[in-house]
Structure 1
Amino acid sequence: MGTNISPSATTLASTASSSSSTNDAETTSSSPYFLPELIPSISSRLTSLRDFFALRAACRTYRALLTPSPDNLAAQDPLLLVPLNTSASKALLHAPLRQIPHFSFPRIHLDRHHQYLIRLHTFGCRIAIHDPYNTADGRRQLSICHLLTGERARLPDHPKNIDGVIFSGDLVITFKEFRPALYYCRIGDVHWREALCDQGNLFFSLVLVKGTLYGLIYPNYRLAVIDLHNDSAHLSFLGDELTSQFLQDYSLFSLAECRGELLLVVAVEHYPLVYHVFQWQSRETEWSRITSIGGCSLFFHRHQFAGCLGPDHPTARRDCMYFTWSTTGQWGEYCLLDGSLQKHVADYPGRAERKEDYLLLAWVLPSIG
């Protein structure tokens, strides 16, 4: 991930003010204010949330125009949701700069006594917090929070532990690997629906692409379109089963999406890690290996897909995949073009120093919304 430093909000405002002036009364290069119609141009160049929220707080007009929308946040850097010290608080970290931006952020507080059980699932700026801690009545809490607006939604208590959460508008889908059922509901529902697939088929990895739910189905990791209907998950299989040689050579299969294209990311080797990427060819109904993702960047949270940034993003490294791993407080940057892997430790002020402290990270992508 690059470390480009964008112009500050004040610098951009001064530039915009001088370039758009038509007379001496309007020309004040040192003024931090500029015409409201220039707001979209300014916000599209800000890569720092600190600058974005500072500009937004300048006046009511700016605040009304600078909503935390994907368009206004298009250039924002990817961030990591990290734990603060030994408390259960979370903060947003600009990983390359080792900075925690100072702006109004709805802090997340988890129960520190069993936070190692809590799972976080992110997509864009939304985060699902799953607390599988078994209370006396066996409830498992699941809630969704938008990290920039503070909007929260409490979902019905979940009946099972889960490995993955998928967001699509107000629809929430959850699943556990190697299980024959997934659960889904809409925000505001009072119960989850359980959808069972055909006998002998188990869900492994799921992803939504252009409103279509795809899944890798165990035991042969065959691709299927999943149609949810009441208490059933109808599977429409695509293409042939993966060959035994393919299954032997690859592991850690993860479905992903890149600009409307369905991808399959697999780990070829583990020491060191080597990844291959395959793109689904709908006409040939088969997976085809690719060595470039068109300059885009893919993000994964413990091998669950977390989002994609396009090739025009100003700071994400082109044709790279970003991962968080286990509970070690590390994140990795894998380049598809040369096969290199850079491992980074999330080092920042307030980081827990004891090795036994739980350091689970999650990607937050403001430009996705």
Structure 2
Amino acid sequence: MTTEEQAGPEPATKGAVPRWAVIGIFLLLFVAGLAYARSFLMPMVLALLLMLVFSPVRRQAERFGLPTGLAATLIVGTLLTGLAAGVLTLSAPVADWVDRAPTLGYELRYKLEELRGMTEGMQKAADQFGEFTEGEAEPGVQRVKIEEDSTAFGFLMTIPSVIAQMVFTLILLFFLLASGDMFYEKIVHVLPAFSDKRRAIRIAYDIERKLSRYLFTITVINAGLGVSVGISMWLLDMPNAILFGVLACLLNFIPYLGALAGVAAAAVVGILSLSSINEAAVVAGVYFLLTSIEGQLVTPYFVGRSLRLNTVMVFLSVMFFAWLWTVVGMLVALPLLVAVRTFCEHIPQLEGVGHFLSARGAEKPQRPAEAE
């Protein structure tokens, strides 16, 4: 037996290790790049998603005889007008809460005094821990004193950056809409095979259709939730009921975490503004009840099966983009997931990924060959 026969065949996976290592390094660098360039990428991705949502509206306006540029101007102008109206309406209550920010902690502590008896054991433990930490410091060990930064100052410092990103998003959205279907024509021109051209256009229009349907449906539902929350807060004698309604509408675009943040905000404001803890608990309970009805009954009924997503993947996507792009990341996480799933449905090699991203019992998409 020769030496080669004794050695046997080489392992089939010999080249797999460096290949997967390169892929892993690429993914790490890609995520790091997304985090590093987030100030540029966040408004760009948001503008692209808005373009996909409003492209059907632009085409409908063109069918009525409006030029493409005028249709784009009307869409962006409507968004800008709504944004300005919202800012002007909410500026007074928001400014009031920002002014009260330095004293909110003391007010909240004072209101929670009636719960002191329920937390007496925890208070004793905290006092013992404080006595331990205030003892003599060991030689060579420095004390660390934590000072709170001004919340109002930090909030004001972020306003110019937010305004600049909003302006960039609207300008880019205008150019994307004003260009019409130019990018689709470029894709058709670049792809060599006729089947690839048809598939690319089919994917683009399907993403537009599903994103428009999904986001318009969710927007209407969230607006109804905002009205319901605003009326409920007004009936419960909560201050700034309109602010609560708008906040509930906006927060509900963030799956899971938005509803929890709204309940927490309602509880805190109720404790600060109402006469007793029980009334604040009722406010938080009503907010939680309304969001539960929306999440468990209204949204599943009006959102079609073909658009439902895997709840675990939705939560992981929201958490990942929250870590990556903060609040804007949480807002774009769900539309991006819808776009990725729609893209996977049209690529045979990625059908498994698309099925994994869908919810249990979701309708299986029809193949292009079957559709024809």
Is the pair's TM-score, using the shorter chain for normalization, greater than 0.5? no
Q: Provide TM-score, normalisation by structure 1.
A: 0.25
Greater share of helix? 2
Q: Provide TM-score, normalisation by structure 2.
A: 0.25
Structure whose CA Rg is larger: 2
Q: With CA pairs under 8 Å and 6+ residues apart, which has the higher RCO, 1 or 2?
A: 2
Greater share of strand? 1
